[in-house]
Amino acid sequence: MKLTRKQKQNVSRVWIFAASALAVVICVFPLYYAILTSLRTGQDLFLPNYLPTTFHWDNYYTALVQNGVGRSLLNSVVVATVTVGACLLVSISGAFALARIRFRGQKGILFTVLCVSMFPQVAVLSGMFELVRFLGLYDSLGALILSYATFSLPFTIWVLTTFMRNIPVELEEAAIVDGASLWVIITRVFMPILGPALVTTGLLAFIGAWNEFMFALTFVLSTENRTVPVAIALLQGASQYELPWGAIMAASVTVTLPIIVLVLIFQKRIVGGLTAGAVKG
């Protein structure tokens, strides 16, 4: 029997809905389950149960206060903010030159920036270790801010260059005719126009710095200077052999929710920023 157009549409609509529902469940389930776990204590923890049963906040207290994840949260905010701020500041002028001015060596610089952004972090690990020690930054947040520039700076340069290329040439020429110097063009014409793009780039770089693990694990020893990923990875329970899953999940949920909220608020921009950096590259 031949289906009518209408019936065909209905069949495909059912498929689409089923697939979407599956995708949504798979995407959200691990976080959902982490939240469930974080609210359970004692024996409850070890019974797989897919609906909320108990609401205990003990795990959050254990993780944030007793295990110092609260302190780590602060460290992470400081490190990521300073890194991103510094990188944006440096890369605005650099990206302007790379995007808007023709000069010898421009292509080479862009290519280098792209290469550095694809560096395996471990390739600079020992050299960076030496540099950090030399500057007296070992076991401090400064070590992380310095080393995070390795991947944040190429990223901000690359994405901002893409954004700046999209500003019409005539706008810059109008400013030149108006007698604006390059510096004025950057600060008073480009930066205000790029405001949203700066937010996007900053947010993406922030997430990158927030999630970094290898440098944070290697350059910081003391518990009070740890960033969140390290704190969570190294979270220990009362006994050495039993991991405190409730507290780990509580810490995980705590560091994840703010990022998720940010991402959802800036959803459109983030998607735009991600693809601006990559698709047009």
Partner 1 sequence: MNPKSPPMTGVGALPAMVPASRGKRSLQARRSRSAWLLVAPTLILLAGVAGWPLVRTVFYSFTDALLDAPHEYLFVGLANYLEFADGEAYGVLADPVWWRSVRNTLWFTFVSVSMELVLGMALALLMNQKFRGQGLVRTAILVPWAIPTIVTAKMFSWMFHDQYGTINDLLLRVGLIDAPLAWIAEPGLSMWAVVLADVWKTVPFMALMLLAALQMVPSDLYEAARVDGASAWQRFRRITLPLIMPAMIVALIFRTMDALRVFDLIYVLTSNSEATISISGYARNQMVAYQEMGVGSAASVLVFLMVAGVAAVFLRIGRFSEPREKQS
Partner 2 sequence: MKQGARASGAKLTKRIKIMAQLTLDKLNKRYNDKAVVIKSLDLQVNSGEFVVFVGPSGCGKSTLLRMIAGLEDISGGSMYIDGTYVNDDTPSERGIGMVFQSYALYPHMTVYENIAFGLRMAKMPADEIARRVEDSARILQLEPLLQRRPKDLSGGQRQRVAIGRAIAREPKLFLFDEPLSNLDASLRVQMRMEIAALHRRLGSTIIYVTHDQVEAMTLAQRIVVLNQGNVEQVGTPLELYDQPANEFVAQFIGSPKMNLMPSTLIRAGNAESVVKLWNGKDLTVPIATPASAEGKKVKLGIRPEHIVWGEVSEAPYLADVLFVEHMGNETYHYLDNGKHGDPWVVRDASRSAIAVGETVGYRIPPEHCHLFAEDGKAYPRLVHSNGEARVGANQVQPVSFSNRVGATPIH
171-200 residues in contact with partner 2 (CB under 8 A) are 171, 173-180, 184, 189, 192-193, 195
Give the angle subtended at the CA of 156 by the CAs of 70 and 178, to the nearest 5°: 130
Report the 10 Å Cβ neighbour count for 210.
22
Please give the DSSP secondary-structure letter assigned to residue 51.
S
| 3 sits near partner 1 (criterion: CB under 8 A) | no
Stretch 4-43: interaction string toward partner 1, x if CB under 8 A: ---------x--xx-xx--xx-xxx-xx-xx--x------
Interface map 80-119 toward partner 1 (x if CB under 8 A): ----------xx-xx-xxx--xxxx-x--x--xx-xx-xx
Quick one: 65 or 221, whose CB is closer to partner 1? 221
x/- map, 67-106, partner 2, by CB under 8 A: ----------------------------------------
| Nearer of residues 65 and 122 to partner 1, judged by Cβ | 122
Instruction: Give 117-121's long-range contacts (Cβ < 8 A, gap of 24+).
Output: 117/151, 117/154, 117/155, 117/158, 119/150, 119/151, 121/150, 121/151, 121/214, 121/215
Number of residues interacting with partner 1: please give it, by CB under 8 A: 94
Cα→Cα distances 255→86, 154, 155, Å: 23, 25, 23
Minimum Å distance from CB 164 to partner 2? 15
For partner 2, the closer CB: 42 or 195: 195
Task: Give the whole-angstrom CA distance, residue 187 versus residue 189.
Answer: 6
Each residue 232-261 as x (binds partner 1 by CB under 8 A) or -, in order, gives xx-----------x--xx--x--xx--xx-
For residues 241-257, one letter each, b for 16 or more C-beta atoms within 10 angstroms of the residue's C-beta and e for the rest, the string is eeebbbbbbbbbbbbee
92/253 with CB nearer partner 2: 92
- CB of 196 or CB of 237, closer to partner 2: 196
What binding mask, one character per residue, do residues 46-75 give for partner 1 by CB under 8 A, x or -? xxx-x-------------------------
Angle at 202 between CA 196 and CA 208, to 5 degrees: 145
User: Residue 248 binds what, of partner 1, partner 2, none (CB under 5 to 8 Å, by partner type)?
Assistant: partner 1
Token code pair at residue 41: 């204590």
Owner of token pair 């020690």: 133
Question: Interface residues for partner 1 in 185-224 (CB under 8 A)?
Answer: 186, 207, 210-211, 213-214, 217-218
Q: Which residue has the tokens 């950090």?
A: 132
| Residue 84 · residue 68 · CB < 8 Å | no
Minimum gap (Å) between residue 189 Cβ and partner 2: 6
Q: Which of 10, 53, 130, 265 binds partner 1 (CB under 8 A)?
A: 130
Q: Which residue, 264, 276, 218, 255, is CA-closest to 64?
A: 255
Picked from partner 2, partner 1, none, the partner binding residue 131 (CB below 5 to 8 A depending on kind) is partner 1
SS3 content of the chain, % helix, strand, coil (to 5): 75, 0, 25
Task: Point out which residues bind partner 2 (CB under 8 A).
Answer: 168, 170-171, 173-180, 184, 189, 192-193, 195
